[in-house]
Structures are given as structure tokens and as C-alpha cells.
């Protein structure tokens, strides 16, 4: 049984500095919480872009402003401003800068662990989630381009809502699926389990795979064998299934998630048979041949 814990920003040794700012981080299990302190004159595109290696910030930020003001401009040209007491949720794709002569301070819950990290050479242990819409080509042929695009847009919206809920980081879309990364496997599995029921009313079924391993973070992308293995796990899942690797199941021993063996599988490009485990969802997949609803 886990016991209550407390850590304090004033005594943390995990401090990351970057031009005109710093992040003090504390961690509890799968959660990393950051105290951002950013000086007047700071701007992401000037002070952090050379570190991240991207034109605009590709981090998803959720947090609360303690002090100062921050101006935000999205890649679409929309402008926002956040002040004391504002609880913000900022999707990837933006520039930002401190407004006025007062330092900006905030507590963040989504990006603290990897914000202002070098674009390459950052290898971390992560849970990788890959999702895919089952029979997407058949749906496209039956519905046509316009109707299928509406389905995909709503699917993407619902998947992103689940990623936000479980603090996942969207890495990329794959046309009819997602690649995402999580600080820990429990959130990745719970997110995967939530996506299927969330999109079921669209008349589509999702397959998902989760594997946990070391990945290399490269600006707004990740790479490594763990990414490939997660994709291979997802590829053998059936409609409505969430499959996880043995590594992921082992790391979740003792938590409230339950698993059942799905059998041994030969995964393309990987040596030898591997046992995969099914996550009981309690939800029925969309019936075979069901027509998606707009």
C-alpha cells in the first residue's frame, strides 16, 4: 500500500536552467511537477528554440499561473495571454514570451520533465502507446472522402482529449491512428482503455498496443526499438483490444489493472515469439461491418 509523500520545491536538487529561466522539478511515481520561473525579456523562440531544435514549442502545457503574465501565439496566428490564477491548457505549436517587467512563475503538470531538453541525446524510459482504426480503408471506400474525413476529425479530437486526461504526449498522427508517449505505463494503459469506448459511437473500432522501454527524444519526435515494438504490438491486436508487452505488464504488478494472456506472437522485425497480454475493457468493440456515423 502506498503511503502519503511530500516533496518540496525549496529543497529539490532537480533544477534545469535555460536562458532567462529555470525549472525546479519534483516527482511522485509517474508524475513530474515543475515550478517554472521565467525572467522578463524571455521568449521561447529566442531562448529555448535553439535547445529544442524546433521552430515553435511542441510541448503540451497544463498548469496554473502564480505570478506575472505570459503572451502566447499559436502556429495558426491566434494570440492569448495568461495571468495570475489562470489555469491553462496549451497544445503543441506555439511561441510565448513574458509580458512586462515582472517574472513569470507557474506550476506545470505536463511538460516539466522534458521542457528545454536538448533536441538529441535525451534517452528516457517511457511507455509508448500506438493506436489504429480497424478497417479504415474499408470505411473510406464505403463512406467516401468527405464523410470519412469528418469521422477522422472527430476521432482525433476524442483521442487528444484522452491524451490530455491521462497526461500523454502526442508524438504524431499516423493517418488513422496515434503515436503517444507517457511518463509511466499505468497512464498509457488507462488511456488506451478509454479511447475505444470514447469513439465507439462513431461506428469505428480501435486496436491499441503499449510497450515500455527506453526511447530517444528528438525535439518533437521519438525513436528507438521501444517505438517499433509498441507499433508491432498494436498491429496484432484485434478490434477493440488493448494489448501490452510483457515488460509493461511486469512494471504494473501490484496496481489495480488486470491482464490476461493473449498468447504468443511473432512480431515483425523482432526476434522470437513474445507473450502479449490483453487488457479487459468491459466494452464491446463495434460490430464487424458497422457503418460509421457522422
What would the pLDDT profile of 277-294 be if each residue is shown by its tens digit?
998 865 333 333 444 444
Greater model confidence, 219 or 86: 86
Retrieve residue 235's grid coordinates: 498491429
User: Is residue 117 in a domain?
Assistant: no
Q: Are residues 88 and 136 in the same domain?
A: no
Do 94 and 128 lie in a common domain?
no
Give dist(CA 124, CA 112) in Å, integer: 14
Enclosing domain of residue 63 = 9-108
Together in a domain, 55 and 200: no
| Tally of CB atoms within 10 A around 232 | 22
Residue 124 — very low, low, confident or very high, per pLDDT cuts 50/70/90? confident
Check residues 281 and 39 and name the one with the higher pLDDT: 39
Q: Are residues 170 and 199 in the same domain?
A: yes
Please check whether residue 289 lies inside any domain of the structure. no
Do 104 and 126 fall within a single domain?
Answer: no
Q: Final residue of a domain: which of 60, 85, 108? A: 108
**251 and 168, same structural domain?**
yes
Split into its structural domains, the chain has a count of 2
Asked whether residue 95 is domain-assigned, the answer is: yes
Give the Cα separation of 163 and 34 in Å (integer).
19
Do 266 and 141 sit in the same domain of this protein? yes
- Looking at every residue in the chain, the average pLDDT score rounds to 87
223 & 264 share domain: yes
Domain-located, residue 30 = yes
- What whole-number distance in Å separates Cα of residue 234 and Cα of residue 243? 7
Q: What is the rounded CA–CA span in Å between residue 133 and residue 285?
A: 11
Tens digits of residue pLDDT in 57-76: 988 899 999 999 999 999 88
Instruction: Give the domain CATH number at 238.
Output: 3.30.70.1230
Query: Do 64 and 134 reside in the same domain of the chain?
Result: no
pTM over 0.85: no
140 plus 49 within the same structural domain:
no
What mean pLDDT is predicted for residues 239-256? 93
- Closest among 182, 186, 184, 188 to 209, alpha carbons compared: 188
Amino acid at each position: 500500500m502506498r503511503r502519503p509523500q511530500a516533496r518540496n520545491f525549496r529543497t529539490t536538487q532537480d533544477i534545469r536552467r535555460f536562458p532567462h529561466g529555470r525549472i525546479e522539478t519534483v516527482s511522485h511515481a509517474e508524475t513530474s511537477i515543475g515550478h517554472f520561473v521565467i525572467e522578463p525579456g524571455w521568449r521561447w523562440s529566442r531562448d529555448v528554440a535553439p535547445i529544442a531544435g524546433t521552430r515553435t514549442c511542441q510541448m503540451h502545457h497544463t498548469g496554473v499561473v502564480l505570478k506575472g503574465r505570459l503572451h502566447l501565439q499559436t502556429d495558426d496566428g491566434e494570440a492569448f495571454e495568461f495571468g495570475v490564477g489562470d489555469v491553462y491548457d496549451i497544445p503543441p505549436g506555439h511561441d510565448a514570451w513574458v509580458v512586462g517587467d515582472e517574472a513569470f512563475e507557474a506550476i506545470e503538470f505536463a511538460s516539466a520533465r522534458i521542457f528545454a531538453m536538448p533536441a538529441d541525446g535525451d534517452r528516457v524510459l517511457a511507455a509508448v502507446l500506438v493506436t489504429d482504426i480497424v478497417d479504415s480503408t474499408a470505411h473510406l471506400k464505403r463512406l467516401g472522402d468527405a464523410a470519412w474525413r469528418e469521422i477522422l476529425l472527430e476521432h482525433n479530437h476524442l483521442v487528444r482529449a484522452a491524451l490530455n486526461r491521462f497526461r500523454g504526449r502526442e508524438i504524431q498522427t499516423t493517418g488513422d491512428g496515434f503515436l503517444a508517449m507517457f511518463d509511466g505505463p499505468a497512464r498509457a494503459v488507462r488511456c488506451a482503455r478509454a479511447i475505444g469506448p470514447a469513439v465507439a459511437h462513431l461506428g469505428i473500432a480501435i486496436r491499441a498496443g503499449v510497450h515500455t522501454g527506453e526511447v530517444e527524444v528528438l525535439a518533437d519526435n521519438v525513436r528507438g526499438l521501444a517505438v517499433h515494438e509498441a507499433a508491432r504490438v498494436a498491429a496484432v491486436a484485434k478490434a477493440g483490444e488493448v494489448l501490452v508487452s510483457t515488460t509493461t505488464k511486469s512494471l504494473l504488478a501490484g496496481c489495480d489493472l488486470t491482464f490476461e494472456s493473449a498468447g504468443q506472437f511473432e512480431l515483425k522485425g523482432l526476434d522470437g515469439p513474445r507473450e502479449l497480454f490483453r487488457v479487459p475493457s468491459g466494452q464491446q468493440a463495434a460490430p464487424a461491418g458497422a457503418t460509421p456515423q457522422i
